[in-house]
A = this chain, B = another copy of it.
Amino acid sequence: MSHPSYEKLVERCREIALYQSTASLLGWDQETCLPKAGQAYRAEQCAFFGGKMHRLFTAPEVGGWIADCEASPGEAAVEAANVRDWRWSYERATRLSAEFVEETERVRAIAMPAWGEARERSEFSLFRPHLEKIVGIERQRAELLGYVDEPYDALLESYERGATTAAVGELFAQLKPQLVEIGAAAAARSADVPADLLAGDYPIADQQVFNRQVAAAFGFDFEAGRIDTAAHPFCSGLAPGDTRLTTRYDEGDFCSSLYGVLHEAGHGLYEQGLPAAHYGTPAGAAVSLGIHESQSRLWENHVGRGAAFWEHWFPRAERQFEALQGRSAKDLAAFAGRSAPSFIRVEADEASYDLHIILRFEVERALVGGALEVADLPDYWNAKFEEFFGLRVGRDADGCLQDIHWSMGALGYFPTYTLGNLAAAQLFSAACEQRPEIPDELAAGHYAGLLEWLREKVHRHGGQLLPPQLIEAATGQPLSADAHLAHLRRRYL
């Protein structure tokens, strides 16, 4: 028997989940459907529900129930994990007022479409006032949440529990020179793979059919999910039985939407594999953004960019796309593994991707810490970009305006992408070691074995194991950059 206060907490969290799943639909709809004239009211809705959820969770009785559970802990591991997480979240949430949360929601709901327009027109001045508000809010959030070393710590931990600026900074400092070396070598090796190797006409309807086939083969359940179109690909686990992916289409390059779908399908498989019985509580939710990203990267890169992938899928792609006549599986693999320094993170190849993240980490740290003001962002970004990549940014849409994250108020989010890359490599390597048949299965287009391993080692745990425990339990090692660097060297050098 659980403590009555535990039952009350579960009930409260299930109520919050009803709001949360609705708020997620409001967000999904904003990115896929919402007419322009509906944006202002949508901002009010988001603020209203944001405040509502915050009040429900930060109510004094919730603190009392948590204390009750701590005083007489239940026996089940799930209960212990939930109480541990509620305590952590409650401590943080109660440092913010409902009004602060509402204001955040309102500002971001207005800033997101403004960013969209600024990016489309490549005019930083259109986004600047919104970003100034957001940076102000996030600096204030850091002060309210508190930190030991520097304000950025407080934000980083919102996305990756336990991560610190110092530790991430150190990791990134070690990675950077090796990534620069790998990136340069990979680019040299790709010099004979022309960027227009697959140039042709790829009708969107054909891309949709093909993408769906691959996602379904990976194991994504379309009875419990769907794929839509959005300017910025994302995955939203809206509710039990309702996981939605988005991608964007380039009629001259089917790989752009395909790899978007493979990436988001990785997120989607995680969402679909979470323990439904614990829905609404931390034990039923994804444990961190870094672990979430490990799943998307694993399917996108380790599976989707492996040479075996195109051996299997090329014949089907050739049937689907007339433009592929005369091409080979080898061409496809070469194109998917092509490396070249480029401006846009979401289109960056594996060998240069993490440098984009390290750059953003440095920019955000400066913005949040106050060393950089929004007005100076474009120059700062462009100087750093040239230092990292040897390329001069010509327009802000290719520079500091390219990502949606800051418009959503998500400062501190980017580092989880590289943490996810490291975890993806380490998990994939462990899976292949523990189940040596996996590479052959992947070559045959059979993904169930790998998915089963991930369900067992990652998905089914929900939020029960914290990221370091999860990685160690699954791979036998603490998280490190070794597997990722080994993978990049093997594939790109």
Contacts and interface: CB of A to CB of B under 8 A. Distances in A.
Contact of A38 (B22, B48, B238): B238
B239 A39 contact: no
Contacts of A241: 35-41
Interface string A332-360: 00000000000000000000000000000
A225 B45 CA distance: 18
A123 interface: no
A21 B40 contact: no
> How many chain copies?
2
A240 interface: yes
Interface in A10-49: 15, 18, 21-22, 25-26, 29, 33-42, 44-45, 48-49
Interface residues of A, number: 34
Given A40-B241, A239-B38, A240-B38, A45 B22 contact: yes
Contacts of A253: none
A149 interface: no
A427 to B, nearest CB: 27
A221 B21 contact: no
A278 to B, nearest CB: 14
B37 A242 contact: yes
Contacts of A223: 35-37
Given A25-B29, A29-B29, A45 B224 contact: no
Contacts of A224: 35-38
B25 A41 contact: no
Nearest to A228: B33
Contacts of A39: 241
A222 interface: yes
Contacts of A405: none
A45 B15 CA distance: 10
A302 interface: no
Nearest to A38: B242
Contact of A34 (B33, B40, B222, B242): B242
B240 A41 contact: yes
A226 interface: yes
Interface in A46-97: 48-49
A37 B221 contact: yes
Contacts of A26: 22, 25
Nearest to A49: B22
Contacts of A228: 33
A41 B239 contact: yes
A431 to B, nearest CB: 27
Given A18-B45, A37-B240, A42-B242, 12 more contacts: A15-B48, A21-B41, A22-B26, A22-B49, A33-B226, A35-B241, A35-B243, A36-B223, A38-B224, A40-B240, A41-B239, A41-B241
Give 7 nearest A-B pairs by CB, closest first.
A37-B241, A38-B242, A37-B224, A38-B241, A41-B239, A41-B240, A18-B48
18 contacts: A18-B44, A21-B41, A25-B25, A25-B26, A33-B226, A35-B222, A35-B223, A35-B226, A35-B241, A36-B224, A37-B221, A37-B224, A37-B241, A37-B242, A38-B242, A42-B239, A42-B242, A45-B239
